[in-house]
C-alpha cells in the first residue's frame, strides 16, 4: 500500500493535537532544525513563511495552520464528532491523512491539486529554456505497459532528458521523500529507452519523483532537485498551491464546498 493511502498505518496522526501536546506541535511548526538534519522534511517553517499576501486568504491561512497542527475537525479528532470516527463517504477512519490523501470523495480535487503544481513546474522549466512536454504517454521496456509521465523536460544543448513526477503526499516520515523518489524511478526508468527514441536524444536521462507535502511541506531533496534546474523561485508558489489544493479538499469533505 502506498504512503498516504492507508488510514490504519499512522494512527498517531489522528491523535496529535494542540490540546494534547502543544509544545511538541509548536516546536514542529516553528523551530525546525533543518540544516543539521539533511533530508529532513523542511517546510513546516517554509509553509509558514507564506503569507496571505502571497496568495492565501486569511481563512485559507487559518485552515492551513489547523492542518499543520492536526486540529482540522475531522471525525477521528478526539471530541470533534458525535457521529463516530468513520468517514461519512467511504467508512474508512476519517483522519486528516485520509481526507487529504485517499478518500474517494476528494479524488477530482486531488487531481486538480496535483495538476496545478505540475503546471507550475512545467512553466518554470520552459522559462529556463527546457523543451517541456506534459502528460506524455509512454511505453515501459520489457512488456511493462503504458505509463504517463507528468513532465518530460529536454535540455537539448546538453543532450539531457529529465522525467519529473511531482507527487503530493500527506507528510508522515523523514524517509518518505526518498521512498517516493524510488517509487517513481521504478515506474519511469523503464520508459527511458522509449523516450530516447521518441525525442531522438541519446544523452543522459534521469527520473525524479518530487514529493510535495499535502500541508505545504517541501522536503529538502525536492528543493535541491528543483534548484538544479534553476527554478527554485517557484518553491513558494508550489507551497501555496499545495496548501490551497488541500484546503479545498478539506472544505469539500467537511462542508461540501471548496
Ligand atoms: Zn472517506
* pLDDT greater than 50 at residue 13: no
Q: Has residue 54 got a pLDDT over 70? A: no
Cα-trace Rg, the chain: 19
Q: What tens digit of pLDDT does each residue of 97-140 get?
A: 999 999 999 999 999 999 999 999 999 999 998 999 999 999 99
**What is the arithmetic mean of pLDDT over 181-200?**
96
Contact 235, 46 (CB under 8 A): yes
Dist CA 42 CA 107 (whole Å): 27
**Residues by chain with Cβ below 5 Å of ion ligand 1:** 87, 89-90, 92, 103
CA distance 207 to 198: 16
Is it the case that residue 37 has pLDDT exceeding 50? Answer: no
Q: Look over the chain and give the mean of its residue pLDDT values, rounded to a whole number.
A: 80
Contact indicator for 235, 218 with CB cutoff of 8 Å = yes
pLDDT of residue 68: 81
- Ligand 1 mean position to 214 CA, how many Å? 16
CA of 3 to the centre of ligand 1 (A): 16
Q: What separation in Å is there between the alpha carbon of 107 and the centre of ligand 1?
A: 10
DSSP E strand boundaries for the chain: 131-140, 145-155, 160-169, 204-213
Neighbours of 198 (CB within 10 A): 15
Ligand 1 mean position, distance from CA 92 (Å):
6
- Cα dist from 248 to 13, 85, 126, whole Å: 20, 21, 28
Percentage helix, strand, coil for the chain under 3-state DSSP, each rounded to 5: 45, 15, 35
Q: Is the pLDDT of residue 3 over 60?
A: no
pLDDT tens-digit map of 57-106 = 778 888 888 888 788 888 888 776 677 889 989 989 999 999 999 999 99
pLDDT for residue 258: 59
Span from the CA of 227 to the centroid of ligand 1 (angstroms): 36
4 C-alpha to ligand 1 centroid (Å): 13
Write down how long the chain is: 258
Amino acid at each position: 500500500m502506498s504512503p498516504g493511502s492507508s488510514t490504519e498505518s499512522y494512527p498517531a496522526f489522528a491523535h496529535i493535537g494542540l490540546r494534547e501536546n502543544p509544545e511538541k506541535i509548536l516546536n514542529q511548526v516553528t523551530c525546525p532544525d533543518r540544516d543539521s538534519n539533511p533530508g529532513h522534511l523542511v517546510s513546516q517553517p517554509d509553509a509558514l513563511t507564506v503569507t496571505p499576501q502571497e496568495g492565501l486568504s486569511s481563512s485559507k491561512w487559518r485552515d492551513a495552520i489547523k492542518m499543520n497542527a492536526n486540529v482540522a475537525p475531522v471525525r477521528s479528532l478526539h471530541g470533534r464528532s458525535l457521529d463516530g470516527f468513520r468517514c461519512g463517504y467511504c467508512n474508512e477512519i476519517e483522519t486528516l491523512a485520509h481526507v487529504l490523501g485517499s478518500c474517494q470523495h476528494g479524488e477530482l480535487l486531488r487531481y486538480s491539486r496535483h495538476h496545478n503544481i505540475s503546471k507550475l513546474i512545467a512553466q518554470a522549466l520552459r522559462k529556463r529554456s527546457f523543451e517541456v512536454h506534459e502528460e506524455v504517454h509512454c511505453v515501459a521496456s520489457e512488456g511493462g505497459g503504458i505509463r504517463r509521465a507528468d513532465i518530460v523536460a529536454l535540455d537539448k544543448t546538453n543532450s539531457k532528458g529529465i522525467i519529473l513526477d511531482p507527487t503530493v503526499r500527506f507528510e508522515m516520515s523523514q524517509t518518505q521523500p526518498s521512498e517516493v523518489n524510488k517509487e517513481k524511478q521504478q515506474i519511469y526508468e523503464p520508459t527511458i529507452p522509449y523516450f530516447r527514441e521518441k525525442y531522438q536524444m541519446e544523452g543522459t536521462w534521469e527520473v525524479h519523483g518530487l514529493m510535495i507535502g499535502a500541508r505545504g511541506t517541501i522536503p529538502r531533496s525536492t528543493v535541491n532537485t528543483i534548484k538544479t534546474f534553476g527554478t527554485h523561485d517557484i518553491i513558494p508558489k508550489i507551497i501555496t498551491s499545495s496548501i490551497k489544493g488541500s484546503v479545498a479538499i478539506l472544505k469539500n469533505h467537511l462542508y461540501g464546498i471548496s
